[in-house]
Structure 1
Amino acid sequence: MATDLDDAPAVTRKHIKPDRDLTAAAVTINRPAADLFAYYRDFTNLPSFMENVVRIDALDGGRSHWVVKAPGGKTVEWDARVTNEVEGEEITWQSEDGAEVPNSGRVTFRDAGARGTVVTATIAYQPPAGTIGKLIAKMFQREPAIQARRDLRRFKQLMETGEVATPAMNAKQFEEMGL
Structure 2
Amino acid sequence: MVVSTRPRQDRSQNVIVLRQAPSMSRTISAAGLGAVGGMVTEYLFDPELGRTRRARVRDKGVHLTHEFRNAGRAVVCDVANRSRGVVKSIRYRTGGRDVDDEVLHERVRAELGRYVRHPHAVEVRVESGRVTLTGDLLEKESRRACRAVASIPGVKTVNANWTTHRDATGVPRLQGEGGPRGPVPELLQQRWSPTSRFLTGLAAALVWSLSGRLPRPLGYLLRAGSAVLALRAATNLPLRRLTGIGAGRRAIDIQDAITVNAPPQEVWPLLSDYSLFTRLMPDVLEVRRSADGLRSHWSVAGPAGVPIRFEAVETMREEGRRIAWKTVEGQLIAHTGTLDLTPENTGRSRIRVQLTYNPVFGAVGHAMAVLFGADPAHKLQEDLLRLKSVIEAGKSPVGAGPRA
Separation in 1 of the partners of 2:249 and 2:358? 9
The structure 1 segments of at least 4 consecutive aligned residues displaced by more than 6 Å after TM superposition are: none
- Unaligned ranges ≥5, structure 1: 1-15, 169-179
Whether the 8 Å CA contact 1:71–1:136 is kept in 2: the answer is: no
Given the alignment, which residue of 42, 49, 56 partners 2:273? 42
Match in the other structure for 2:355: 123
Which shifted more, 36-45 or 52-61? Answer: 52-61
Shift of 1:141: 3.0
Q: Do structure 1's residue 157 and structure 2's residue 365 form an aligned pair?
A: no
**Paired AA for residue 335 in structure 2:** N
Match in the other structure for 2:256: 25
Larger Rg: 2
Match in the other structure for 1:60: 291
Q: What is the count of residue pairs matched by the alignment?
A: 153
Shift of 1:167: 4.6
- Unaligned ranges ≥5, structure 2: 1-246
Describe the SS at the equivalent of 1:108: strand
Shift of 1:27: 0.4
Describe the SS at the equivalent of 2:367: helix
Separation in 2 of the partners of 1:78 and 1:18? 13
CA RMSD after TM alignment: 2.0
Change (3 A) 1:19 1:122: closer
Whether the 8 Å CA contact 2:260–2:392 is kept in 1: the answer is: yes
Higher share in strand: 1
Whether the 8 Å CA contact 2:327–2:335 is kept in 1: the answer is: yes
Q: Do structure 1's residue 134 and structure 2's residue 366 form an aligned pair?
A: yes
Whether the 8 Å CA contact 1:29–1:115 is kept in 2: the answer is: no
Change (3 A) 1:95 1:167: closer
Separation in 2 of the partners of 1:99 and 1:167? 31
Q: Do structure 1's residue 86 and structure 2's residue 318 form an aligned pair?
A: yes
Match in the other structure for 1:3: none
Whether the 8 Å CA contact 1:78–1:98 is kept in 2: the answer is: no
Whether the 8 Å CA contact 2:249–2:336 is kept in 1: the answer is: no
Separation in 1 of the partners of 2:360 and 2:401? 31
Give the share of equivalent positions with the same residue, in percent: 24
Whether the 8 Å CA contact 2:338–2:354 is kept in 1: the answer is: yes
Whether the 8 Å CA contact 2:324–2:338 is kept in 1: the answer is: yes
Q: Deviations over 1:17-57 (max 9, x none)?
A: 68421111000001111221111111011122223111111
